[in-house]
Structure 1
Amino acid sequence: MAWNSLDDMDLGGKRVLVRVDINVPLTDGKVTDDTRIRRLSPTLETIFEAGGTPILLAHFGRPKGKVVPDMSLQKLVPVLEKAFDRPILFCADCRGPAAEAALAALPEGTLLLLENTRFHPGEEQNDEAFAAELAALGDIYCNDAFSSSHRAHASTEALARALPACAGRLMEAELKALDAALGHPARPVVAVVGGAKVSTKLELLGNLVSKVDHLVIGGGMANTFLAAQGLAVGKSLCEHEMTDTAQDIMATAEKVGCEIVLPLDAVIAREFKEGAANEVVPIDAVPADAMILDAGPETVKHFAEVLEKARTLVWNGPLGAFEIAPFDTATNAAAAIAATRTADGQLTSVAGGGDTVAALNKSGAADSFTYISTAGGAFLEWMEGKVLPGVKALGA
């Protein structure tokens, strides 16, 4: 679909309502990962350089339409000022007289941060009257929150229809990366899907088998597929009630010419802890008292052969219990191959999802990927083939 970017808008002298996602993790009141915040700088600087005034709209947590002091955005002001290297004026409401007064008093070169949009019930109800109150503060709407665009909320959907709308730099980069990965990809296309449960990724698997050439399945999900083939998986994480579904997915893949790549061997252990005694066994020789915690070296070798031929890679989920060594070996090895081929210009690599980002960061490969999405649910829904309301509303 077509959508406007900041380059298509006349920003000079305009008030630009920028929907951002600064819903970052906090521990003891301190931000533990400010990646989402730092990625917003290009959008804000573009607006400032063009003579516009950016006004930040965002949510935090799930206050369910009520004012919850612990979920106020005010506590993020010092983090934002440091990340953007600009002063920030905070307003304790996101609409109405208080917001209008804050905007009128805003010094040049200062960012205005409006309070949590979810403090109002109209936000999650996608209420057009609430969106109109937000729209009254701006001349242009800019969505730079792909990670929130899978929800049809007032600040992501209705507001985009109330003002001239465009995508911010982060949203623009995300959409281009996703289009390159599954919209109009260079082939062969490989998808890596890992994680614990098949049941949470049914729609994802169903969409991918018809779009990719090779589907690599790892983690606990792989155990369910192995069980569906009649293999014993011992005490491994496995959804035995989903084996019929796994068989259906494999049958569909065979029909459309998608190769499903499953482990050939496994790293097993009797307990799940750092440095646990472990061994490698063929995939058809998993002891009844053992757990599969990672793919083995023969599997890694086969994964490497698949990745060496790929032109496009989409990755969601680790291949093993990556949090604990040595069960991060397969994930790290596959990530290293993807990173090297990407750096050499031979592969377009796009990855997303919380565990995926953590695993790739831990492996040291993340910086070499073409694009790493921090979008979580929105990234997963896009991979499932769903239309995201916040993106659709930007259609030019």
Structure 2
Amino acid sequence: MKFLKDFNFKDKRVLVRFGFDVPLKDGQVTNDFRIRTGVPTIEYLLNQGAKVILLTHLGRPNGQVVEELRVDPIGQKLAQLIDKPVKKLDDCIGSAVVQAIEQMKSGQVILLENVQFHPGEKTKDPSFINLLASLADFFVFEAFGQAHRDYASISGLSKKMPSCAGLLLEKEIENLHQTMDKTEHPFVVIIGGVKISTKIKVIKNYLAKADNLILGGALANTVIRAKGFAIGKSIIEEEMVAQAEKLELTNNKLHIPVDVVASADPTGKSSSRIAPVGKTEPEEMILDIGPDTVHLFNQIIAQAKMIVWNGPMGLFEVGAFNSGSEQVARAVAQSSAFSLVGGGDTICLLGELDLLDKIDHVSTGGGAMLKFLVNEKLPGIEALK
């Protein structure tokens, strides 16, 4: 794998694929962590006299133009952070894009439109890859959070042009390798979030490698259901129940909620209650972990020497259901263990609580981080080798 130091970028067009998939509210970036992590690479390239062309995705537009998912707010935030103008274009391919890049001077920055507005991104369309590759002389990959996706701008461009890892990706790989090579015990892994389908493989892997594996969030609902407990109208992946049943559900290392916060209303405007697992009413949803579960999880976290965490414990975006995630976040931050945390929602949560600086390494990847740590091959990184 090559790195920035291996190339001379003076007067060259450099296309950098970032993962600036940040939360927005009223057209403003509400958490700029992922943008800030990209600044060192941008400044390095500007100092080298490059013409810097930035590419990212935002949200899930599914191959269509979605006005609310245009990347203008990212360009505005980035301009503030690097204290330089960032010219935002209205597409990522086409004659207007080619013309704007032809007119670039060294030391200037262009931000292309959301790459996922084009269906060719996810289908890895060769003609789309060729159009992107024609825009630049070099390709720099920095979107570690998307490295597990086999998309055009993730794993396709590296095969078409001189390519390397950026400073952020280099740091991610270094820190994650350190975690893998120097695992300390007790080793605790915390996995939350919504989908168990994207994490079932790593859950099985960590059940073998970790001393304790904590599951929370909606993905734990699928495991609770697999154990035969009532979950009411809780979010689950019905098609994954059979897979969850194959997990070692009686393994003493596996910890799932023992009590939950249940409500018929996920907006938090109606009443909610603490219920033992299995005692959820038919019209209720599991929306957070309960106090006994928080106590249990925090006892396990307190004994850890190394912690890996990805995914919140409940619907943390709603005030009535954020207590479990918040208390687990504080326990991880206060722990003397080496802590490695990743994933967009988890980063947002830690940012809101002003705890990011209490974590030893905050990864820009969630699913990518978990897969890297159990030696799964990530297309975005494999393509650079």
TM-score, normalised with respect to structure 1: 0.77
Instruction: Trace 1:230-269 onto structure 2 (pairs within 5 A).
Output: 231=229, 244-250=242-248, 254=251, 259-267=253-261
**8 A contact 1:233–1:288 mirrored in 2:** yes
Tell me, yes or no, if structure 1 residue 307 matches structure 2 residue 293.
no
Question: Structure 1 residues 186 and 164, CA, compared in 2 at 3 Å: closer, same or farther?
Answer: farther
Give the corresponding residue for 1:365.
355
Aligned CA-pair RMSD: 3.9
Tell me, yes or no, if structure 1 residue 176 matches structure 2 residue 174.
yes
Instruction: Trace 1:255-294 onto structure 2 (pairs within 5 A).
Output: 259-267=253-261, 273=268, 276=271, 278-279=273-274, 286=279, 288=281, 293-294=287-288
Q: Render the CA deviation track for 1:117-146: whole Å, top value 9, x for unaligned.
A: 456665444345554454444332211122
User: What's the offset of the Cα at 1:393?
Assistant: 0.9
Structure-1 separation of matches of 2:226 and 2:215: 13
**One-letter code of the match for 2:350?**
L
Give the corresponding residue for 2:289.
295
Give the corresponding residue for 1:331.
325
Structure-1 separation of matches of 2:258 and 2:312: 17
Question: Structure 1 residues 187 and 104, CA, compared in 2 at 3 Å: closer, same or farther?
Answer: same
- For the residue of structure 1 that corresponds to 2:380, the secondary structure is helix
Instruction: Trace 1:42-61 onto structure 2 (pairs within 5 A).
Output: 42-59=40-57
User: What's the offset of the Cα at 1:371?
Assistant: 3.3
Instruction: Trace 1:83-94 onto structure 2 (pairs within 5 A).
Output: 83-90=81-88, 94=92
- For the residue of structure 2 that corresponds to 1:372, the secondary structure is strand
**8 A contact 2:217–2:314 mirrored in 1:** yes
**8 A contact 1:263–1:296 mirrored in 2:** yes
User: What's the offset of the Cα at 1:196?
Assistant: 4.6
User: What's the offset of the Cα at 1:322?
Assistant: 3.0
- For the residue of structure 2 that corresponds to 1:209, the secondary structure is helix
**One-letter code of the match for 1:276?**
S
Give the corresponding residue for 1:388.
378
Equivalent of 1:152 in 135, 150, 165: 150
User: What's the offset of the Cα at 1:170?
Assistant: 2.3
Give the corresponding residue for 2:191.
193
Question: Structure 1 residues 166 and 186, CA, compared in 2 at 3 Å: closer, same or farther?
Answer: farther
**8 A contact 1:274–1:324 mirrored in 2:** no
Greater gyration radius:
1
User: What's the offset of the Cα at 1:306?
Assistant: 1.7
**One-letter code of the match for 2:244?**
A
Structure-2 separation of matches of 1:224 and 1:338: 25
Structure-2 separation of matches of 1:11 and 1:116: 25
User: What's the offset of the Cα at 1:53?
Assistant: 3.0
Question: Structure 1 residues 276 and 385, CA, compared in 2 at 3 Å: closer, same or farther?
Answer: farther
Q: Render the CA deviation track for 1:215-259: whole Å, top value 9, x for unaligned.
A: 1122344444445445555676667886554342125x84xxx71
Instruction: Indicate the larger mover: 235-244 or 204-213.
Output: 235-244
- How many residues align structurally? 383
- For the residue of structure 2 that corresponds to 1:276, the secondary structure is coil
Give the corresponding residue for 2:339.
348
Give the corresponding residue for 1:106.
104
TM-score, normalised with respect to structure 2: 0.79
- For the residue of structure 1 that corresponds to 2:201, the secondary structure is helix
**Runs of 5+ unmatched residues, structure 2:** none
Structure-2 separation of matches of 1:72 and 1:232: 42
**One-letter code of the match for 2:298?**
A
**One-letter code of the match for 1:299?**
T
Q: Render the CA deviation track for 1:266-321: whole Å, top value 9, x for unaligned.
A: 45567663583635x6657x375776554344433332232123232222222234
User: What's the offset of the Cα at 1:190?
Assistant: 1.5
**8 A contact 2:52–2:107 mirrored in 1:** no
Structure-1 separation of matches of 2:67 and 2:232: 48
Question: Structure 1 residues 228 and 130, CA, compared in 2 at 3 Å: closer, same or farther?
Answer: closer
- For the residue of structure 2 that corresponds to 1:330, the secondary structure is helix
**Runs of 5+ unmatched residues, structure 1:** none
**One-letter code of the match for 1:126?**
K
**One-letter code of the match for 1:372?**
V
